[in-house]
Amino acid sequence: MGNFSRMDSRADLANLQKMLEDTESKKDYKDDRFWRPELDKSGNGYAEIRFLPPIEGEDLPLVKLYSHAFQGPGGWYIENSLTTFSKKDPVSEMNSQLWNTGIDSDKDIARTRRRKLNYISNVYIVSDPSNPQNEGKVMLFKYGKKIFEKIQEAMHPEFEDEEAINPFSIQNGANFKLKIRRVAGFVNYDKSHFDSPSDLSEVDFPDGHSLQEFVDPSNFKTYEELKERLDAVLGGDIRGTAENISRAEDMETSTPSSNIRSKVESTEEDDYQNIFNKLMDED
């Protein structure tokens, strides 16, 4: 079972629901601990994975991160957002400035620089047809809002004849069939789903990876450092060049935010809160 703790009881599931709201994370650039599904030339991909419980000594099976990625005349701005910790962030403040001008072109720029929400979990690679050498490994997996919603739906099924499962349980969880398509130019996960529950207690899992480093504020740049980088990228002009990055795994998952929330910020933030409200809602 490796170094994973058990999460098999209904009490574990209830506790998990309450813990998810506070998860935090950091970026994973060029980190070979991370598994990424490979897509074919059509933008399609398939794999089967198992979400795993927290390792011994840790409480959470996932962490969350807000980040920004966009291009300006001075290069790319690819940084974690301090809003991960509910702190003020220079990009969030800039986006609020742009949105609040009421000018449509400024709002468009704010949208291209909106923050992106991702989660990180340990996963067991059950099947990876494109890279079979990954099968049997435990790796970190970074995913967005759509896959998180699949986890939430498994914990709170829509219909009465469906039983709630803890997707992070080795004994009572279920494999996740990741089905990726390119739809209208965007990555789409709608056909992904959890299989029937299965017991993997007999599997000799390799050790999992700690998630604690991803919630350590010391691994984030300070406000002053981020502001300096932002000014360099935009050349001191908040409008700069409105180009967005296309490397994100889930393009449907992000929004800018700051202490002064604009309309573009508050809409997705409210949607995000609704997700957690449903997740924490007891039957």
- Considering the domain delimited by 10-280, tell me its CATH architecture: Alpha-Beta Complex (3.90)
pLDDT band at 28 (very low <50, low <70, confident <90, very high): very low
pLDDT band at 202 (very low <50, low <70, confident <90, very high): very high
Map out the domains of the chain as residue ranges: 10-280
Contacts of 144 (CB under 8 A, 6+ apart): 116, 117, 118, 119, 248, 249, 250, 252, 253
pLDDT band at 226 (very low <50, low <70, confident <90, very high): very high
Q: Classify 190 as helix, strand or coil.
A: coil
Would you state the structure tokens that stand for residue 258, as one six-digit string?
A: 């700051």
pLDDT (tens digit, 9 = 90+) per residue, 235-266?
A: 989 998 544 443 333 433 333 333 334 444 44
Degrees (nearest 5) of the Cα angle 138, 188, 81?
Answer: 70
How many Å is the Cα radius of gyration of the chain?
19
Q: Rounded distance, CA 186 to CA 206, Å?
A: 34
75: part of which helix (H) or strand (E)? Answer: strand 75-80
Would you state the structure tokens that stand for residue 68, as one six-digit string?
A: 């920004």
Degrees (nearest 5) of the Cα angle 187, 189, 194?
Answer: 160
Report the length, in residues, of the chain: 283
φ/ψ of 193, rounded to 5, equals -165, 160
Tokens 């962030």 -> residue? 89
| Whole-number average pLDDT of the chain | 82
pLDDT (tens digit, 9 = 90+) per residue, 143-181?
A: 999 999 999 999 999 888 889 999 999 999 999 999 999
Asked if pLDDT for residue 275 goes beyond 60, the answer is no
Rounded mean pLDDT, 207-236: 93
Q: Which residues pair with 215 in a beta bridge?
A: none
Of 50-54, 76-80, 197-201, 257-261, which range is least confident? 257-261
Contacts of 259 (CB under 8 A, 6+ apart): 88, 92, 93
Would you state the structure tokens that stand for residue 197, as one six-digit string?
A: 């529950």
Would you state the structure tokens that stand for residue 212, as one six-digit string?
A: 């604690």
Q: What is the pLDDT of residue 262?
A: 41
Q: Classify 234 as helix, strand or coil.
A: helix
Q: Rounded distance, CA 255 to CA 111, Å?
A: 7
Rounded mean pLDDT, 206-216: 90
Asked if pLDDT for residue 67 goes beyond 50, the answer is yes
